[in-house]
Structure 1
Amino acid sequence: MAWISQTAGLLSDSVAHHRPHFPLVAVTGISFTLGFVLSSLLQKRVAERGVFSSPRDRVLLQSDSETSTLPLPPDVLPGARDVPSPYGSIRVYEWGPEDGHKVLFVHGITTPCIALGGVAHALADRGCRVMLFDLFGRGYSDCPTDLPQDDRLFSTQILLALNSSPIAWTGQGSGNFSLVGYSLGGGIAAAFASAFPHLLSSLVLLAPAGLIRDSQISFSSRLLYSNGLVPESVLGYLVGRRLRAGPLIKPKHTKLSASDALAEELPSQPAANTTNTQILSRAYPHITVPETVRWQVNNHAGFVHAFMSSMRHGPILQQRQWASWSRLGEFLSSQRTLPPAEQRARGLPSDKVLILCGSNDVLILKDELCEDAATALKGNVQFEYIDAGHEFPSTKYEEVAQYVWDLLQ
């Protein structure tokens, strides 16, 4: 096992530091041999279970004093509930005035929904009713193993979360809600909006995936995430090892590697070293995104599977998502011809789409995103820029909340 670890470590470090000259093909060949038995065991485990359980049941057996010190306590945000579904249990948080403007948040590929806790608290302070949930395989949501993590599964999860609320988020008399998506969640939100624009009053995309150009994808990422090329057990080990390493400081580049997707949602500096300490959970101010992700890697049996499935099937790449973004753009253009009152009655108004970009984001390149999003959405979008990297929703949440609030008015 030691030499398996050493080989995997070399490959992980190669990906993390963007060294394309490393013989990845040779390592892949070795991986077939090393991972054969482990891969077979993993596939058998998946087939027998159907769903990877979250850490929820195990954590709830602990005392309050024990759970309060966890990097992700089960009551990390207000209004926690577990929603049963055919795909496994879904963790949902909801709070704020029942008659406030409704805002639903969708988080990114790596972090659970606590990464958007600061923005949610700030909008609840302004009188909004907010809802967040952990995507399948993250936080305290289970992970189905027999379905691809694509926009269809995620749209279904959104509808399940909405339907679990004690107040109406959809249907006659409920009014429409605002949808805020970050990173992978931005791609999910755009895909959902293209299918259900009549449910929305506004759409906010924070450094969204969905329009990443194919030319940005590095060779190492293509190799690592090709179905069946690397045994799942070996790839899972590499992904877990990279996530435990935390954020890396690296130069700007033009290629998206696996380590970028893993690490860019993690703040490059701990909150203690920043000018203003970021509080994502008011009940547990000690919570940080990097520690939460490390805990998630070690304690959620389905997280690595969920990450890899999202990388392969999720709404990330332009070649898979251009049609849904264009469909949304066509709807928005048709809205523009109607009076404002009719636009609101019909769904998402043409002037209520906002995209926030990090000026220093090396994962979602703002110039390419703005060009492509403006084209796909037929110009029905407003762009704003925040002086930060990809992680800005968790480090500059007050600024993000104010942009969202201004759009709601």
Structure 2
Amino acid sequence: MTTLLHRISHPAPSPTFPSPVALGLCAASFTALLIWTSVRTSFNSDSPRSIPSPASSQIPELPEDQIKSLPYPPNALPGSRHVDSPYGRTRVYEWGPENGPRILLIHGISTPSIALADLAHRLVAEGYRVLLFDLFGRGYSSAPCSQAHRYDSALYMSQILLCIQSSPVPWPSFTIIGYSLGGAIAADFTSYLPNLVEGLVLVASGGLIRTKHISWKSRILYSTAGFIPESLIKRLVTRRLWTGPQAARSIEPEPDLSAVSSNPDEPRAGGLRSHAVYTSSQLRLLPGNDYSTVSNVVDWQILHHKGFVPAFISSIRYAPIHNQHHRWKVLAENISTKAGKLREVWLVLGETDPIIIADEMVEDAKAILGDNLKLKIVKGAAHEVAIDSASEIVEIIKTLQ
């Protein structure tokens, strides 16, 4: 699921939009500012700035037959490239018609970009050009050291802008589909840069999760007060995320078993204390690859990406998952004042999602966005709605044109 940001002044409303060239220059300047702000604290440190991904730590040592059997092989999606930055390297995938409408997809907190593989392929088949990337600390992207960098709004905004500007084709404006944590990041990003985003689809999105759902165990575990040594926190979180060969369990964030009732008539717990984030952790992510299940991919990251668990922990702490009403209000204000091209926000929810409680999310989002909120609740779907209901999301995208 999904988490992040701090403050930058609201853009001045104006009915006249800047040219694509001006937008590009502004985005480049904004990227440079974010990078400098985030990395300046680590210049005097002797510790490495980032933890390498399996692309350099595992893949070079594996024979071809073992690479093919990975749950997330390096050639999983077309159009792959690496984007270098002061934070480390980001794995990016981009393909589709060069003149097609642009769509950026942002995945959730634990499963990298291949979680949205089916959705991306369906969009390309409809004529769209898509760009996906692995968030820092996931998949084949490096992990900025969490001691020097918070996994917060500034970090993720910088990563998005770096990925877009690395494209061989221009991205003057685009639609964002954000899933879980990716939805929280997408809403946050759009609130700061409304001129870049012309469509926004938030799928099982974080951002407005009510803090009442955070159990006391989670509050202690993810506290930054130093009550628990970081090494112990990493071990505990790893234990909660680990699937193993036989278990079928929650993937995101961590279950609080004491909060789960066996009575189906009782309201779902919601938030970070939910027990079953994915109805089935055996969902297959890549066609023709039986190894590529949600649980296998998470376990593979735990085993082979040393930055995965620290990135997960820091995202829970600092990403814009909870109480982002202030940024969503800016989003609503930008729409009403026509500060950019965005005119509505689509919210796609799973009817039985135990993390993003549909009734709560609709109530809170509607109170902020009003008539600018468009809603789709997928019957029978849980938190994996972006994985197993891709066709319904594509139909929404087609209405945006």
Please tell me the TM-score bracket, short chain as reference: 0.7 to 0.9
Secondary structure of the corresponding residue to residue 377 of structure 2: strand
Distance 1:255 1:385 in 2: 17
**Alignment partner of 1:209 out of 186, 198, 206:** 206
Distance 1:283 1:99 in 2: 30
Contact 2:249 2:281 in 1 (8 A): no
User: Structure 1 residues 60 and 107, CA, compared in 2 at 3 Å: closer, same or farther?
Assistant: same
Distance 1:222 1:269 in 2: 26
The one-letter amino acid paired with 2:221 is L
- Quick check: which has more Rg, 1 or 2? 1
Distance 2:135 2:300 in 1: 16
User: Structure 1 residues 183 and 233, CA, compared in 2 at 3 Å: closer, same or farther?
Assistant: same
Alignment-derived partner of residue 394 in structure 2: 401
Contact 2:51 2:143 in 1 (8 A): yes
Alignment-derived partner of residue 16 in structure 2: none
Q: Is 1:153 aligned to residue 168 of structure 2?
A: no
The within-5 A match list for 1:1-400 is 48-57=47-56, 58-145=58-145, 146-170=148-172, 176-227=173-224, 228-245=226-243, 247-248=248-249, 253-257=268-272, 260=275, 264=277, 266-268=278-280, 270-271=282-283, 280-282=285-287, 284=289, 286-318=291-323, 321-335=324-338, 347-351=340-344, 353-387=345-379, 388-400=381-393
- 1:283-341 CA-partner distances (Å, limit 9, x unpaired): 746422211111011110000000000000001011xx221110010111123xxxxxx
The one-letter amino acid paired with 1:372 is D
- Give the CA deviation at 1:238: 1.4
Secondary structure of the corresponding residue to residue 84 of structure 1: strand
The gaps in structure 1 that reach 5 residues or longer are 1-45, 171-175, 272-277, 336-345
**Number of residue pairs aligned between Structure 1 and Structure 2:** 335
Distance 1:381 1:59 in 2: 44
The gaps in structure 2 that reach 5 residues or longer are 1-44, 251-259, 262-266
After superposition, the CA RMSD in angstroms is 1.9
- Give the CA deviation at 1:398: 1.9
The structure that is helix-richer by fraction is 1
Alignment-derived partner of residue 8 in structure 1: none
The one-letter amino acid paired with 2:98 is E
Distance 2:97 2:228 in 1: 49
After TM superposition, the score normalised by the length of structure 1 is: 0.78
- Give the CA deviation at 1:160: 0.5
- Give the CA deviation at 1:253: 2.8
Contact 2:274 2:354 in 1 (8 A): no
Contact 1:215 1:255 in 2 (8 A): no
Secondary structure of the corresponding residue to residue 178 of structure 1: strand
Contact 1:218 1:256 in 2 (8 A): no
- Give the CA deviation at 1:122: 0.7
- Give the CA deviation at 1:50: 2.2
- Give the CA deviation at 1:405: 2.4
Secondary structure of the corresponding residue to residue 337 of structure 2: helix
User: Structure 1 residues 267 and 73, CA, compared in 2 at 3 Å: closer, same or farther?
Assistant: farther
Distance 1:154 1:299 in 2: 22
- Give the CA deviation at 1:216: 1.6
